[in-house]
Amino acid sequence: MAKGRRLAPVPTGTRPVSDRAREGLFSSLGRAVEGASVLDLYAGTGALGIEALSRGASRATFVDSAPGAIRTIRANLEITGLVSSAGVHRRDVLRFLRASGDGYGIAFADPPYDTDPETLNALVGALSGRLEGAGWRVVLTRPVRGYTPVIPVHWRVARELRYGDTHVLVHEEVRWA
């Protein structure tokens, strides 16, 4: 539905995931997106959640604290005709995760590159309680030379992708034998 639509301009202060990285990420996720409830944290333009919706996700929740990002996400949902499948929240990501009772099959987290280690570790901990269903995935973007948070024992890195200065980590649940 959203294929080929030109999205709204990137708001000031937002570092979007490159088109190349986004395409590689969704190729690696494959059919896991179909029917999934998706969470797009530090959503920026909403491109990751919108891409997921256009590839068959059932619902996407977008969270960002910046007013410009929220305006851009809403405009992009209008442009793509995906408003009815989305929820948009202007909130601090950690506060949202702690207050929300919803569960998600795929979570995208693209925090600013200068996010401190304590906040990144808190993000992973808070996300851990919001994952549901068999085959859940957490996608975390980090700078190639930046801090990568410690992951819970029941997570594993399923895929690592690198595009320029962007390191994309796809985590999934460890399946014990």
Per the model's pLDDT, the better-predicted residue between 39 and 9 turns out to be 39
What pTM was computed for the model? 0.89
User: Taken in order 173, 87, 42, 11, is the CA torsion positive or negative?
Assistant: positive
pLDDT at site 1: 46
Q: Does domain 21-173 have CATH number 3.90.79.10?
A: no
Q: Classify residue 139 as exposed, middle or buried by CB count within 10 Å of its CB (0-12, 13-18, 19+).
A: buried
**Chain segment 59-93, per-residue pLDDT in tens:** 999 999 999 999 999 999 999 999 999 999 999 99
**Chain segment 43-60, per-residue pLDDT in tens:** 999 999 999 999 999 999
